[in-house]
Amino acid sequence: MTSGKHDSINKTARLAGGLYLAIIPFAIFGFFYVPSALLVPGDAAATAGNIMASEWLFRSGTVSWLVSHIILIFLVLVLYRLFKPVNKDHAVLMVVLALLSIPIVFLNEVNHLAALQVLKNAKDGALIDSQRHAQVMLFLDMRQSGVLVAQVFYGLWLLPLGVLVFRSGFMPRLLGVLVVIAAAGYLIDSGTQLLFPGFATISQFTFIGELLFALWLVIKGVNVERWRRLMPA
């Protein structure tokens, strides 16, 4: 590999950081903002009314959530190129675990759209309002459960990434530790929420490790000389 190609690795690092940061607003909008604006816990009728009154917002939540995972596909491929010299097996594992979450997320959004479809078909007269609202809440609960299943893979793919960062030598080891902590946060949250619904979550705090990792890639990049030493002659 030429010196120019070696030096271009920082462009790869900054691309990875940029993609990581790009995921955040889409994920926050689709998974946090839209549900908080439309869903009323324990009140199916109010939730149904909010969805029908803000159909575009409801649909945009689905689109935003899907876009965030499309970006994730490109992110892990760029991260693979960056960390492959550290340990190719761990880098492949990282990619596989991340990509496994994609079909789960895409199929799971059918539940989100199904809730809207139930309300859109209100004129068919087959169901009374209370039954229809119960169906809407069922689909929304199924969507939430699907997210928890996908969240298992969010935690799993971050584990090899954290190990790669820690062992790389071209990024601070502390960042690797923080990424592993973020992974543990997702795994703990998915496990506790599946076993004990409504239990307090911690991933919104442990997520800081991912944010700092992405910011470091964008602002500082990697130590090119140390990255170069990992490449075969």
What tens-digit pLDDT sequence spans the chain (233 residues)? Answer: 445 555 689 999 999 999 999 999 999 999 999 999 999 988 888 999 999 999 999 999 999 999 999 999 999 999 999 999 999 999 999 999 999 999 999 999 999 999 999 988 866 555 567 888 889 999 999 999 999 999 999 999 999 999 999 999 999 999 999 999 999 999 999 999 988 888 888 998 999 999 999 999 999 999 999 998 887 64
Q: Which pairs from 32-38 meet CB under 8 Å and 24+ separation?
A: 33/61, 34/58, 34/60, 34/61, 34/64, 35/61
Closest by CA position to 189, among listed 203, 179, 178: 203
Closest by CA position to 32, among listed 201, 209, 214: 201
In this structure, are residues 185 and 217 in contact, taking their beta carbons and an 8 Å threshold?
no
| Domain interval for residue 72 | 3-230
Q: What are the C-alpha distances in Å from 150 to residues 98, 102, 106, 112, 199?
A: 10, 8, 10, 15, 18
In this structure, are residues 183 and 162 in contact, taking their beta carbons and an 8 Å threshold?
yes
In this structure, are residues 18 and 10 in contact, taking their beta carbons and an 8 Å threshold?
no
pTM above 0.85, yes or no: yes
How far is the C-alpha of 2 from the C-alpha of 6, rounded, in Å?
A: 6
Number of domains making up the chain: 1
